[in-house]
Structure 1
Amino acid sequence: MKAILRMTEEGTSELISTRSRSFLDLKLDLETISMSELIELMVEKPAILRRPIIMDDKRLQVGFNEDEMRRFLPRSVRTLELQRAQLLAGF
């Protein structure tokens, strides 16, 4: 969890789904708990996390965004997809 947190741009607000039923049921104010308590909570109750969480050595993607998720595909796969799309479009 610490490695994931280090890669975020917005910190915990990027990872936690504050509108999810799991989080709302906790009746918790994120501003009042310590970082270690928050990490423990995320490990104990992963349902409060936004999904999917995809990461590699340099990048982190939290939440579903098809265009952003494509960054994790190898360049060769992205090139083949582009060629296929161009064929379908008649280019």
Structure 2
Amino acid sequence: MAVTIYGLGCKSTKKAKQWMINNQIPFVERDIKKDPLTVPELQDILRLTMEGTDDIIAKRSSHYQKVEVDFDDLSLVELLEMIQEQPKFLKSPIIVDRNKLQVGYNADEIRQFLPRKTRKFQLLNWTQDLKPIEW
């Protein structure tokens, strides 16, 4: 299954796309401003999170700060419907495949999308490049 990058066209989304291209990982890009996530798609993403909606909502964004809604008072469905209507509430990018999730661009964490053999090969080459410590 290909990797999907859900993004808002921000710098982090562009970095993630370039990383995928540089590492020859097939991906599908989706601009969530033009094509917002549906409630079932958001539920699928939440299934992969550790902290639920806290992992995907951009609470420090100006868009979030301007809204006069207490998100804690909303049901999950109400919150997901609100996110569907206002995709700027989401962090960007959200990168997923069948069972992996990364929210935001992180150069170390994005490596999880490399095939296992590639990660193992890179790790072996990296450890061979280490020089022994001389005391």
TM-score, length basis structure 2: 0.56
Give aligned-pair identity as a percent.
Answer: 40
Distance 2:67 2:61 in 1: 10
What is the root-mean-square deviation of aligned Cα atoms in Å?
A: 2.1
Greater strand share, 1 or 2? 2
Correspondent of 1:44 among 85, 107, 121: 85
Distance 1:81 1:25 in 2: 45
Work out whether 1:54 is the aligned partner of 2:95.
yes
Q: Quote the offset at 1:52 in angstroms.
A: 1.0
Greater helix share, 1 or 2? 1
Aligned to 2:113: 72
Distance 2:78 2:49 in 1: 18
TM-score, length basis structure 1: 0.80
Distance 2:68 2:121 in 1: 48
Distance 1:80 1:10 in 2: 32
Aligned to 2:56: 15
Describe the superposition over 1:17-46 as per-residue Cα deviations: whole angstroms up to 9, x where unpaired: 111011111122221111111111111111
Instruction: Give the length in aligned residue pairs.
Output: 90
